[in-house]
Amino acid sequence: MALTALDWLLLGIALAAPIAVGIAYGRRAGRNLSEYFLSGRDLPWWLAGTSMVATTFAADTPLAVTGLVAASGVAGNWLWWNAALGSMLTVVFFARLWRRAGILTDVEFVELRYTGRAARALRAVRALYLGLAVNCLVIGWVNLALAKVLSVALGWERLTGVLVGLAATGGYAALAGLRGVVAADLVQFAIALAGAVGLAYYALAAPGVGGLDGLRAALPESTFRLWPAVGPMDPTPAGTAAMLALPFASFVAYLGVQWWASWYPGQEPGGGGYVAQRMMSARGERDAVLASLWFTVAHYCLRPWPWVLVALAALVLYPDLSDREAGYVLVLRDHLPAGWRGLLVGAFFAAYMSTVSTQLNWGTSYLVNDLYRRFVRPDAGQTHLVRVSRLTTILVMAASGVITFGLESVRQAWEFVLESGAGVGLVLILRWYWWRVTALSELTALAAAAAGFAFVRFFTTIPFPDSLLYLVPWTTACWIAVTLATPPEPLAHLIRFYRRTRPAGPGWRHVAAAAAEPAPAPLAPDLRRWGAGCAAVYLTLVATHSLLFGSVLGGALLLVGAAVSAAWLVTSLTRNGPAGD
């Protein structure tokens, strides 16, 4: 793809602007670890929430959505749409608790909640597993996505693309700390969103597509279904092998199991990871709740449809393409005018840098705070720890670059993370709401999930996501059995945790009574808020689908229902609920 001078100018601006903003706002990062990893705990909700949205908008996301639509039509997006249930759970049940805990990382929570050798071992295991293994894998698949974009758009080799991407991101991420990363996220999100909307417009206008009506005429009706296929499906276009509809069993696994049972970056049950990092960096509990709410609405309601429209156009324009994920980039290469090409490549860079800078900062926080500081140099000063953090950021960046070359597709990496952690999610939820959960419960869940995953992959032919229906019960049964067969955490430690975080629900009545404290608050009001929030998100999704591919009147009525649910939720959260606690 030939870029004009205007393209190169816009590409340069898209690269330079967030880096400059990040470094300018990150000057205070060197003061201490709280400033470097939590931005001094003073972020407003709109900035913390937008940073979450920007982080989940990576270079891999539109490519993976294109692959999902090619394999299973629009309904294939339930692979990640299901996670809105968990995100809303975080809004209502967990955001205020994470902010109230007053810790530096969500892995540090382990020794706030548990005690003894098992807690120390769990903290070390989770820091290594999440901070190094999973973090490098995530950055690796984001590197892969950017390399695909640059290969198609600019003709670069994978190594060149990875080196350029990491070099553009690693330096400012190491210098800027979280405050600089968050400030850069705001600029990067604006660039990436503008690029996605612009590409959708030109994709629909491309010769051979003919707008929404042209898509409906060129593709089978099954491609546009929002819900899974139960009966016979329409035949796919000539030359394609897959049936463009989501099987019902997969839909059940996604919506009934995956959202609460599997760990995934940005969609962790219980709101861990960099989502917890942003909530803990908010200036108060109210801001933590509103930040996670804004993230959920923007992530699931505002962003998906430009990607989906480009993915559908790619099916029409490139029906015989072997690498379906690359269809998104081919639309960019072949159907954008001068200026827009540079902006779109810049948008991919912006999305990439936002995600990678967060992953580097977040993963490094585990390796420094929960490994180095906790077990190697507990007496180290803040200046020394910040220096170690910056060096570790660079080392993690290099390790992730190596992993990139072992990956073949973004969806492959997504599914690996979801499947290998199947069943861990429930213990991450219940550790906040059931006093009986112990460090051994979590260690057992991690070990059982890994063993189950290995067995399914090496000794069976069960595909993903059907495998979740077997792995989740196995992991859950293992950790619950160990929980009930081993002693609980010491009562004095549980009392300290309860007084500090004040979790609601009947699971802490025993501890509250022993501490001579008032009974925990009931869960029913939060359950109603959760239901209203989920209704608002999914009504908006269905309404948008209807407006694009069905009835305008039906879509409008659904939007009214979504608005009513959202208005009630926000009012409840800000006046009477957790946001006002």
- Report DSSP letters for 507-542, one per residue: GGHHHHHHTT-PPPPPSHHHHHHHHHHHHHHHHHHH
| 475 and 387 within one domain | no
CA dihedral 197, 202, 208, 212 (to 10 degrees): 40
Q: Give the least confident one: 180-184, 313-317, 372-376.
A: 180-184
CATH code of 199's domain: 1.20.1730.10
**Quick one: pLDDT band at residue 242, thresholds 50, 70, 90?**
very low
Put residue 498 in one of left, alpha, beta given phi > 0 → left and psi -120 to 50 → alpha: alpha
Q: Return d(Cα 69, Cα 299) in angstroms, integer.
A: 18
Q: Is the dihedral of CA 545, 550, 553, 557 positive or negative?
A: negative
Q: Is the dihedral of CA 520, 521, 524, 529 positive or negative?
A: negative
* 239: pLDDT strictly greater than 50: no
* 410: pLDDT strictly greater than 70: no
| 156 and 168 within one domain | yes
Phi and psi torsions of 229, nearest 5°: -85, 130
| 453 and 383 within one domain | no
Q: Return d(Cα 532, Cα 566) in angstroms, integer.
A: 7
Out of 420, 439, 474, pick the residue that ends a domain.
420
> Looking at this protein, which amino acid is placed at residue 136?
C
- Residue 152 placed within a domain: yes
| 79 and 215 within one domain | yes
**Quick one: pLDDT band at residue 240, thresholds 50, 70, 90?**
very low
* 146: pLDDT strictly greater than 90: no
Q: What is the distance in angstroms between the CA of the first residue and the CA of the last residue of the chain?
A: 55
Per the model's pLDDT, the better-predicted residue between 43 and 320 turns out to be 43
The closest alpha carbon to 276, from 99, 450, 408, 407, belongs to: 99
Out of 472, 488, 504, pick the residue that ends a domain.
488
The closest alpha carbon to 549, from 81, 175, 191, 221, belongs to: 221
- Residue 154 placed within a domain: yes
Residue 178 half-sphere exposure, CB side, CA atoms within 13 Å? 32
> Looking at this protein, which amino acid is placed at residue 48?
A
Mean pLDDT over the full length of the chain: 87
- Residue 517 placed within a domain: no
> Looking at this protein, which amino acid is placed at residue 275?
V
Q: Return d(Cα 449, Cα 401) in angstroms, integer.
A: 27
The number of angstroms, rounded, from the C-alpha of 381 to the middle of its chain's C-alpha atoms is 33
Per the CB < 8 A criterion, the answer to whether 76 and 246 are in contact is yes
| 225 and 338 within one domain | yes
Contacts of 145 (CB under 8 A, 6+ apart): 58, 59, 60, 61, 63, 64, 325, 352, 410
| Total domains present in the chain | 2
**Quick one: pLDDT band at residue 238, thresholds 50, 70, 90?**
very low
For residue 230, the model assigns a pLDDT of 61
Per the model's pLDDT, the better-predicted residue between 111 and 184 turns out to be 111
- Residue 66 placed within a domain: yes
Q: Return d(Cα 16, Cα 24) in angstroms, integer.
A: 12
Q: Give the least confident one: 3-7, 212-216, 454-458, 515-519.
A: 3-7
The number of angstroms, rounded, from the C-alpha of 91 to the middle of its chain's C-alpha atoms is 14
Per the CB < 8 A criterion, the answer to whether 121 and 353 are in contact is no
The residues pairing with 247 across neighbouring beta strands, listed in sequence order, are: 229
Q: Give the least confident one: 22-36, 190-204, 326-340.
A: 22-36
- Residue 233 placed within a domain: yes
Residue 571 half-sphere exposure, CB side, CA atoms within 13 Å? 7
The closest alpha carbon to 345, from 147, 543, 166, 505, belongs to: 147
* 581: pLDDT strictly greater than 60: no
- Residue 510 placed within a domain: no
Question: What separation in angstroms does the CA of 415 have from each of 64, 329, 420, 453, 477?
Answer: 11, 22, 8, 11, 22
* 576: pLDDT strictly greater than 60: no
Token representation of residue 23: 């470094």
| 300 and 285 within one domain | yes
**Quick one: pLDDT band at residue 579, thresholds 50, 70, 90?**
very low
| 470 and 401 within one domain | no
Cis check for the bond before 473: say yes or no (omega within 30 of 0).
no
Contacts of 45 (CB under 8 A, 6+ apart): 282, 286, 287, 288, 289, 290, 291, 294
- Residue 502 placed within a domain: no
Range of the domain at 433: 421-488
Tell me the three-class secondary structure of 183-244, residue by residue: HHHHHHHHHHHHHHHHHHHHHHCCCCCCHHHHHHHHCCHHHHCCCCECCCCCCCCCCCCCCC
Token representation of residue 19: 């880096």
Let me know how many helices (H) and strands (E) the chain has, helices first: 28, 0
Token representation of residue 490: 């010491």
Out of 384, 401, 420, pick the residue that ends a domain.
420
Cβ burial, residue 156 (10 Å; 0-12/13-18/19+)? middle
Per DSSP, helices labelled H in 57-157 are 60-72, 78-81, 84-89, 95-101, 109-113, 116-128, 135-154
Question: What is the reported pTM?
Answer: 0.88
If you average pLDDT over residues 2-15, what whole number do you get?
84
Q: Give the least confident one: 31-40, 110-119, 141-150, 469-478.
A: 141-150
Q: Give the least confident one: 11-15, 408-412, 555-559.
A: 408-412
| 256 and 116 within one domain | yes
Q: Return d(Cα 73, Cα 69) in angstroms, integer.
A: 4
Per the CB < 8 A criterion, the answer to whether 37 and 361 are in contact is yes
* 73: pLDDT strictly greater than 70: yes
| Owner of token pair 């400030």 | 183
**Quick one: pLDDT band at residue 241, thresholds 50, 70, 90?**
very low
Largest CA distance in the chain: 73
* 491: pLDDT strictly greater than 60: yes
| 378 and 470 within one domain | no
| 384 and 263 within one domain | yes
Query: How many residues in the chain?
Result: 581
Per the CB < 8 A criterion, the answer to whether 533 and 569 are in contact is yes
What is the 8-class DSSP label of residue 239?
T
| 308 and 386 within one domain | yes
Per the CB < 8 A criterion, the answer to whether 151 and 161 are in contact is yes
- Residue 542 placed within a domain: no
| 147 and 14 within one domain | yes
Q: Return d(Cα 461, Cα 398) in angstroms, integer.
A: 35
Over its C-alpha atoms, the chain yields an Rg (Å, rounded) of 23
